[in-house]
A and B are shown apart, each in its own frame.
Chain A
Amino acid sequence: MSDSTTHVAIGGDITIGCTVNGEAVAVQVPVRTSLSDMLRAALGLTGTHLGCEHGVCGACTIIVDGAAVRSCLMLAAQAEGSDIRTIEGLAVDGRWHPVQTAMHDHHGFQCAFCAPGFMMTAVAMLEDDPNRSEQEIREELGGNLCRCTGYESIVDGVLAAVATLRGAS
């Protein structure tokens, strides 16, 4: 079981400069820190959740430079200079993003542990192209697991957000 040559803790800290929810930050973390741990532990942004820590469940999804990424699979060091958005930055001045409103209207979530990941995936998808069919939405959301809802309420929420965003544009 023991193999001291490969399991020595990796020492040394690194300072990461990036933008998180519109604010420039400089965070000192151990070199091996994942981006999700940096957000949660160093910045206190605990809205980003860790469900599997191996890149399958999607609960930790955030938006980095406009793209939905799994923050458990990205090192903090890789985020140097990037623009990061998390669930905490979705509402503006207390006004919910249309995706949040739509999820509320459609009883999107239950335990809601997966909710931040789903909503960040949905936001990135709709910012990329708001004209999405139900099948496209289901495929885009296919990288996020929910154990409570059977997905119908989440899909309905995203469809409603599509309608809202279309109306607004």
Chain B
Amino acid sequence: MTSPETHHTGTFDTATQGSGLGAFTGTSVKRVEDHRLLVGDGRYVADVVPPGCLHAAFVRSPFPHARLTGIDTSEATRLPGVVSVITGSDIEELTNPFLPFLALPGLYTPLYHSLSSERVRFVGDPVALVVASSRAVAEDAAELVDVTYEVLDGIGTIDRALDPESEPIWPRAKNNLLYDRTTDHGDVEGVFADADHVFTETFRCPRQSNQPMETRGILVEVDSVTGAVSVRAATQAPHMLRWQIAAYARKESGPQSIRSFLTNPERRGAFLAAAKAFVGDKGEALQSSDSTAMQHQLKTEPRTALQMVRTGAQLLGRDDYPHVDADDIGGGFGAKGSVAREEIAVAAAALAIGRSIQWIEDRMENLMDGGQAREEELTLSIACDADGTVRGLDVDLVLDQGAYPGNPVGAPITVRIMEVMQPGAYRFEAFRQRSRIVATNKGKYVAYRGPWANETWARERMINVVARRLGLSQTEIRRKNMYGDEDWPAAMLTGPALDVTCSVRKTLERAEELADLDRLDALRADAVSRGKRLGIGFASYHEAAPGPPDYFEHVNPGTSALLDQPATASVSVDGTIQIWTSQMPHGQSHETTYAQLAADQLGVAIEDIELVYGDTSRAPFDLLGTGGSRGGPVGGGAVRKVGRHLRSVVVAKAADMLEASVDDVTIERGNIHVAGVPARGLTYAEVAARVVADGETVDGRDGTYAFSVDDTYTSAGDGGWSVATHVCWVEVDVETGIVEIPRYLVVEDCGPIINPAIVDGQVRGGVAQGIGAVLYERAAYDEQANPQASTYMDYLIPTATEIPRIEVDHMETLSPGENDHRGVGEGGMIGAPAAITNAIEDAIGVTVNDQHLPPYRILELMGIIRPD
């Protein structure tokens, strides 16, 4: 089943013609994207400035927490070149507040606008928007806006937020605890009472930030004649942005919206058909979603109901939603999966003024408000027997979501995924988790590459703590307790099914083989001779990329349908081939990998495939775009499915033309022919021409096509787990506290690989972010929530001198299903913090409870300097 052989090193010149199924998939085809991106021909959002375009800059709060007592825009408005200054109260007149996207039982989600008017809640909170003839003038004017504040106590730590007397950041919530829920699986009390030992540790992860090299940005164009709105943005989810702009960026009269919907039979019909299609076979699943969640929200924030009705009516009442187009994007790592308050404010301004406006965020804004993540405290207790059998796991999680909720993906869904994944691939008998979300006066918590990664970090740290206390090795305790092939079919205590694709233990065993463990003592001795301490750390995880078919129902019942992935494949009347995806690439090389998958299905060359994405008037609809390691398995699964479908209809037509049976027709190098008779073949253009001549063209996504077929890869697809074991070697300098990484090994299993070089790049990039998190990066705040890292002099992103070579070894377990590519976008970041901190603990012999370990912290832990 598995073929644990090593690296794929083959490269494939993209000029080579495809020669039937499977020629490209599995090879390191060079990137299609490079042809524009390596010559400076990319089109990132800042690169497009239409004539007459205005520019925006935000006025932001310099205080973590304050009441806004006055705002004077007169001086700013008088500056030559300034067109408009829009304040928080203007925005309340112009727009709708943001609504909760996902409701969890007991969760409070505040309603808020894109600019703040009465209270500011973090340093960087936008209070006004200046629109001017240039960015420089807009920034000058922003400094002329005179805002007066009455300063409130800033809440900068989880401990302060948990204090019930702390100044409530969201007064309706009464205090700063927004969510508190405990779930039990199995007989927790019994197992903990019965086990030989119970070990407990608290692990703390400070705030990190996604920090894509391109900041956020948006261009909202308003057609001066028609009023039509067209948007370009750096977004991972163009359809989500489109809907949110339609919902929030202007406020319309509710009754008028409803009248407009009811009196327009076309719109009514279209809506009912779409609703019927969406609910379809998912009706039962949708009904299973928990209504107690919304009841709590409505009790705490009664305005939610009215706003939901008003916004819903507004969405139904018109069909001229803005058109959103995303082109090249300079990275996201989850941050651009959020719809920014700034994006809604700029869209509202453009609509109000009737002119095009561009906003390009600067780096300081990005460090304050561009998305932060991962700040969590987890207390883990493991009940185990004397022989090292782990039996019970009890977890107390507190997540610091900052001031404003992530929109749409933030703390609540992260907490749910952390809960579901927390037990990992270990055979626990019982599991309890208490999860709390607190508000603090910090930048908002967003999804950051493997958003739930701290479940892996804390668990893999705790497994090592147990091993040390019991005198077992890191690998022994893992091998002893992990699920393996003898266990299938199995299920996690939290619900999701485990099968052969959960090959975590195999990656561990393979990692042990490759790690030269018999040389470890010699390495340690050598390090000591140089004034250093060498340590080794293992960490293993499985992640739902995409997960088994039942996975998301355990995370958030009733919402699996959101994860469905549509794709279209078409042949134009001139014979060119298009693949249409709802994925939104921002560095993952979709144009290359999807061309590989489609070219193999269709028997053509890589350059014969045009990938259509990013443009909401053309790309298929899905709300989530690219994220969650779903591009390969789910987006790719949809491409394979639709490619196969297109091939079948093309072959059927060609078989007619060739007077042959479809079973005898093959496609090689774009030549559609009866097997063995390539000389009498047809091209795609010839088949398309016959379709036209026969009057058989079809309406496709964007006009008339010779062929056009649609498919959906549903959440009930073949699925499966993506897994890895990371091994990190560190050398700690006992004088300076500096940590070096002489070797780093990843053994991963994401099933059959589409493009090995791209997989390696994803894994290495993720590990580099993990190294950054542990050794360099921290979105630091003081106790009152004043940011301490708002430039790249303070927020330290590792460079080429800090990141070592990273060995990647591939295993390729086949899933029982057909579409068995699995995701790798997030895994590197999930495994790395655990492996690195485990290695540091092994090196210094002191329990490591922090994820962030700069040199001073290492010296503190070793007792060389005293903590202040």
Contact = CB atoms under 8 A, between A and B. Distances in A.
Interface stretch (B42-50, B285-293, B522-530, B653-661): B42-50
Give the size range of A's interface with the partner. 35 or more
B792 A57 contact: yes
Contacts of B587: 110-112, 148
B331 interface: yes
Given A7-B140, A103-B38, A107-B758, A54 B44 contact: no
User: Which one of A1, A104, A112, A150 has the highest number of Cβ atoms from chain B below 10 Å of its Cβ?
Assistant: A150
B148 to A, nearest CB: 9
B799 interface: yes
Contacts of A148: 213, 331, 587, 761, 765
A59 interface: yes
B213 A57 contact: yes
B331 A150 contact: no
A2 B146 contact: yes
B144 A2 contact: yes
Interface string B20-50: 0000000010110110011111111011010
Contacts of A100: 38-39
B269 to A, nearest CB: 42
A53 B31 CA distance: 29
Given A46-B47, A51-B213, A110-B587, A88 B40 contact: yes
Contact of B799 (A1, A40, A142): A142
Contact of B37 (A52, A91, A112, A138): A112
A98 to B, nearest CB: 12
A91 B39 contact: yes
A46 B764 contact: no
Given A53-B362, A147-B331, A152-B806, A112 B42 contact: yes
A158 B140 CA distance: 41
Contacts of A144: 799-800
Residue from B37, B587, B758, B797 whose CB has the most chain A CB atoms within 10 Å: B37
A48 interface: yes
B214 interface: yes
Nearest to B144: A2
Contact of A9 (B44, B80, B797): B80
A22 to B, nearest CB: 15
A142 B800 contact: yes
Given A1-B147, A100-B38, A105 B803 contact: no
B663 to A, nearest CB: 39
A150 B212 contact: no
Contacts of B333: 147
Contact of A110 (B81, B363, B761): B761
A153 B11 CA distance: 14
Contacts, number: 195
B764 A1 contact: no
B793 A145 contact: no
Interface in A40-83: 40-41, 45-54, 56-57, 59
Given A145-B792, A145-B799, A113 B330 contact: yes
Given A9-B136, A141-B799, A152-B764, A2 B79 contact: no
A130 interface: no
A45 B588 CA distance: 25
A146 B213 contact: yes
B40 A1 contact: no
B118 interface: no
Contact of A59 (B34, B213, B766): B213
A107 B787 CA distance: 37
A154 B39 contact: no
B791 interface: yes
Q: Is the interface of A mostly helix, strand, loop or mixed?
A: loop
Interface string B207-220: 00001111100000
A149 interface: yes
B586 interface: yes
B31 A7 contact: no
A168 interface: no
A139 interface: yes
Contact of B805 (A7, A32, A152, A154): A152
A107 B363 contact: no
B213 A153 contact: no
A149 B768 contact: yes
Nearest to B758: A107
A77 B143 CA distance: 25
Tell me which of A1, A30, A40, A104 has the highest count of chain B C-beta atoms within 10 A of its own C-beta: A1
A117 B40 CA distance: 10
Given A56-B791, A111-B331, A153-B761, A47 B40 contact: yes
B38 A104 contact: yes
B791 A87 contact: no
A96 B39 contact: yes
A59 B33 CA distance: 18
A151 B11 contact: no
Contacts of B140: 7-9
A47 B47 CA distance: 8
Nearest to B215: A51
B368 interface: no
Interface string B67-94: 0000010010001110000000000000
A149 B765 contact: yes
A129 interface: no
Nearest to A94: B39
B801 interface: yes
A54 B137 CA distance: 19
Contacts of A145: 213, 792, 797, 799
A7 B144 contact: yes
A81 B187 CA distance: 79
Interface string A122-150: 00000000000000011101111111111
Given A112-B33, A113-B213, A151 B799 contact: yes
B757 interface: yes
B767 interface: yes
Contact of B793 (A40, A49, A56, A139): A56
Interface string A150-167: 111111000000000000
Contacts of A104: 30-31, 34, 38
B212 A147 contact: yes
Nearest to A51: B213
Contact of B137 (A9, A88, A116, A155): A9
Contacts of A47: 39-42
Contacts of B586: 111
Contacts of A52: 363, 791-792
A8 B333 CA distance: 38
B679 to A, nearest CB: 35
A84 interface: no
Contacts of B49: 41
Nearest to A101: B38
A152 B741 CA distance: 14
Residue from the set A57, A105, A110, A154 with the largest chain B CB neighbour count within 10 Å: A110
26 contacts: A1-B62, A1-B145, A7-B140, A7-B144, A48-B40, A49-B46, A52-B791, A52-B792, A53-B362, A53-B363, A57-B363, A59-B213, A105-B30, A110-B765, A111-B214, A111-B331, A112-B33, A112-B330, A112-B587, A113-B214, A115-B38, A138-B801, A141-B799, A141-B800, A150-B767, A150-B803
Given A8-B140, A56-B792, A150-B767, 11 more contacts: A40-B46, A51-B213, A90-B39, A111-B213, A113-B330, A139-B800, A147-B765, A152-B805, A153-B760, A153-B761, A154-B800
Interface of A: 1-4, 7-9, 30, 32, 40-41, 45-54, 56-57, 59, 86-88, 90-91, 96, 100, 103-107, 109-116, 119, 137-139, 141-155
Interface of B: 11, 28, 30-31, 33-34, 37-44, 46-47, 49, 62, 72, 75, 79-81, 136-137, 140, 143-147, 211-215, 328-331, 333, 362-363, 586-589, 757-758, 760-762, 764-769, 791-793, 797, 799-801, 803, 805-806
* Nearest 5 Cβ contacts at the A-B interface: A47-B40, A113-B330, A111-B587, A150-B768, A87-B40
